[in-house]
Chain A
Amino acid sequence: MIQVLFFGQLKDQVKMPSVKVEEAATSVGELKKTLGVMHPQWQHYLTNDSILVAVNKTIGNDQTVLSDGDEVAFFPPVTGG
């Protein structure tokens, strides 16, 4: 199981703060495809080039390897400060 979190505007676009994915995904790119199959309306947002990803609280990318129990967060560019 992979715990997926959404933040910022992306959370509003996918209309939920988090989702659990039971299917195995070996990488962030694979996970995006799985989420796109589960929720076709999300594909447009998740494939946006500006979307960032953190795996277990560390910034990653589509190639970052995933394993069972990981926490994956997707979010738009940050705007703190």
Chain B
Amino acid sequence: MQDVIEVQTEDFNQGALYDALRQDSLANGAIVTFSGLVRDFNQGHEVGDLFLEHYPAMTKASLLNIVTAARARWHFGKIILIHRVGRLAQGEQIVFVGLTSAHRKDAFDGVQFIMDYLKTEAPFWKKESTSEGDKWVAANVSDTQARLRWDKQDEM
């Protein structure tokens, strides 16, 4: 049940990662995966390449903290979380999160939880090449709200 957490410049093979999740125990009959890609349009302008900066000494530990927090809320089999850094072209894969669980709802919730925290706490910054020059991507208020819903659920 070793989790896989990687920060890398190389692309990843979604099929191979899914197969790795399938090798998990048969007690876990649910697999949910999410992949995030580079879009061609963002915040009102066309986007060319994307550059993903990160804080190398902190990034992996931050992702591990998020996975640990998810494991504290639900019971999962295996979790795979991969985030790419460096220069990425339109349509390229940026992030993969996949996990196994005995229950469908836990699996869906777990992937959402990991992505919501990743988008608000993991030290990555996107810079886009646009027709008007390079632009740092501004953080979305909706991402913060999406993360805060997990706090609200704790209070309920």
- The residues of A with any CB-CB pair to B shorter than 8 Å are 5, 7-9, 12, 50, 54, 57, 59, 71, 73, 75-81
**B139-A81 in contact (CB<8A):** no
Other than A76-B125, A76-B136, give 19 A-B pairs with Cβ distance below 8 A: A5-B55, A7-B53, A7-B54, A8-B125, A12-B136, A57-B62, A73-B55, A75-B55, A75-B125, A76-B139, A77-B138, A77-B139, A78-B119, A78-B123, A78-B124, A81-B95, A81-B119, A81-B122, A81-B124
Hey, which chain A residues are within 8 Å of B91, CB to CB? none
Number of interchain pairs (Cβ within 8 Å): 73
**Size band of the interface chain B makes with A:** 20 to 34
Is B16 at the interface (CB under 8 A from chain A)? no
Contact A78 B136 (CB under 8 A): no
In the bound complex, do residue A57 and residue B58 qualify as a contact, i.e. CB atoms below 8 Å apart?
yes
Q: Which 7 A-B pairs have the closest CB atoms?
A: A80-B124, A77-B139, A8-B125, A57-B58, A9-B136, A81-B119, A79-B137
